[in-house]
C-alpha cells in the first residue's frame, strides 16, 4: 500500500538547509499497525507529513496504492489526503467551545456535505469511539482521553484507509493513553485500517505490531513486536 524509496526531505530557510530525512526506504502493507519511534528532531513528523500528503519529498519515490505521489497536482494530492487519510494529533486540535458533535461535523461542513449525512456520520463515529452519550458536551467538559476520542471520531468520518497519529497519547495520563490505544487497536483489528503512530513511550510502542525507529533522518531499526509474534502463534 505504501512504498517509499530513497525518500529525502530538505528544508531550506534562506542559506540554511536542514536534511530531515535521508534516503529512507520503507514498505507498509495494508492493515499494518506501526509504531514510529526516535528522538526529538529525528524526522518522525516530517515522515508523517509526507505519508499524509501534507508535504512533498525533496527527492525519492512515494507510491501510495500504486500511484506515485510526485506526479500528482496539488489538487490531486488534496483529494488523496481527504479520501484516504485521517490525522490525529497530540494536542487534539478541537474547538473548545463547540460540541463534540459539531467538532466531528466540521470537516464535512467544509466538504459541503448535506447536513443530514453529516449528522449521521458524526453520530456513527462518536458512537464507535464510545462517546454516543457525550455528543453535546464541549471539549472542556471532557477528559483528555475523551477529547482524543472525539478527535479520532473526526478523523474517521470519511472512512480513511490510513490513520496517522503523531504522539496521540503525549498529553494523556497512562489510563487515558491506554483507552486511546484500545481505540486504535480496534480500528486496526476490526476495521482493517492501517495505523501509523508516532510515540516516544516504549509502553505505547509495545502495543503496536512493528516498530520503526528513526535517528538523524534515517531508519536505524525496523522490528516486529512480540505481540505480533504471539498473535500469530495463537
Q: Which residues of the chain form contacts with Mg ion (CB under 5 A)?
A: 44-45
Shortest CB 59 distance to ligand ADP, Å? 16
Nearest CB to ligand ADP, comparing residues 38 and 139: 38
**3-class DSSP state of 40:** coil
Largest distance between two CA atoms of the chain: 56
Is 208 a residue that touches ligand ADP (CB under 6 A)? Answer: no
- For residue 73, the partner it binds in ligand ADP, Mg ion, none, with Cβ less than 5 to 8 A by kind, is none
Residues 6+ apart with CB under 8 A from 62: 2, 3, 4, 7, 50, 51, 68, 69, 70
Residue least distant from Mg ion (Cβ)? 45
Three cell numbers written together for 41: 528532531
Nearest CB to Mg ion, comparing residues 194 and 199: 199
- For residue 41, the partner it binds in Mg ion, ligand ADP, none, with Cβ less than 5 to 8 A by kind, is ligand ADP
C-alpha–C-alpha distance, residues 148 and 152, integer Å: 6
Count CB-CB contacts under 10 A for residue 6: 12
Shortest CB 28 distance to ligand ADP, Å? 18
- For residue 228, the partner it binds in Mg ion, ligand ADP, none, with Cβ less than 5 to 8 A by kind, is none
Shortest CB 47 distance to Mg ion, Å? 9
For β-strands 162-166 and 59-64, DSSP reports them as unpaired
Q: Compute the C-alpha angle 228/232/234, nearest 5°.
A: 115
Among 6, 18, 65, 70, binds ligand ADP (CB under 6 A): 18
Give the x/- contact pattern for ligand ADP in 31-70, rule: CB under 6 A.
Answer: -------x-xxxxxxx------------------------
CA dist 191 → 71, 126, 159, 170, 195 (Å): 30, 15, 10, 25, 11
Nearest CB to ligand ADP, comparing residues 191 and 216: 216
Nearest CB to ligand ADP, comparing residues 58 and 82: 58
For residues 211 and 205, the answer to whether their CB atoms sit within 8 Å is yes
C-alpha–C-alpha distance, residues 183 and 91, integer Å: 17
Nearest CB to ligand ADP, comparing residues 44 and 149: 44
Interface residues toward ligand ADP, by CB under 6 A: 11, 13, 18, 20, 38, 40-46
Amino acid at each position: 500500500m505504501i512504498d517509499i524509496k530513497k525518500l529525502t526531505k530538505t528544508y531550506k530557510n534562506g542559506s540554511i538547509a536542514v536534511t530531515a530525512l535521508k534516503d529512507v526506504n520503507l514498505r507498509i502493507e495494508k492493515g499494518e499497525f506501526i509504531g514510529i519511534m526516535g528522538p526529538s528532531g529525528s524526522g518522525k513528523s516530517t515522515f508523517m507529513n509526507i505519508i499524509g500528503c501534507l508535504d512533498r519529498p525533496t527527492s525519492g519515490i512515494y507510491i501510495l496504492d500504486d500511484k506515485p505521489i510526485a506526479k500528482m497536482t496539488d489538487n490531486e494530492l488534496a483529494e488523496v489526503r481527504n479520501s484516504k487519510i485521517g490525522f490525529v494529533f497530540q494536542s487534539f486540535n478541537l474547538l473548545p467551545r463547540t460540541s463534540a458533535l459539531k467538532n466531528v461535523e466540521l470537516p464535512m461542513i467544509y466538504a459541503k456535505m448535506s447536513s443530514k449525512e453529516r449528522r449521521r456520520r458524526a453520530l456513527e463515529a462518536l458512537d464507535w469511539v464510545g462517546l454516543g452519550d457525550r455528543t453535546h458536551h464541549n471539549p472542556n467538559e471532557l477528559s483528555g482521553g475523551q477529547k482524543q476520542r472525539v478527535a479520532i471520531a473526526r478523523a474517521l468520518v470519511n472512512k480513511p484507509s490510513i490513520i496517522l497519529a503523531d504522539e496521540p497519547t503525549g498529553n494523556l495520563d497512562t489510563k487515558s493513553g491506554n483507552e486511546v490505544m484500545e481505540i486504535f487497536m480496534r480500528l486496526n483489528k476490526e476495521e482493517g485500517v492501517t495505523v501509523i503512530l508516532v510515540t516516544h513511550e516504549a509502553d505505547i510502542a509495545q502495543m503496536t505490531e512493528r516498530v520503526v525507529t528513526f535517528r538523524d533522518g534515517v531508519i536505524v531499526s525496523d522490528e516486529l513486536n512480540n505481540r505480533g509474534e504471539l498473535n500469530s502463534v495463537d
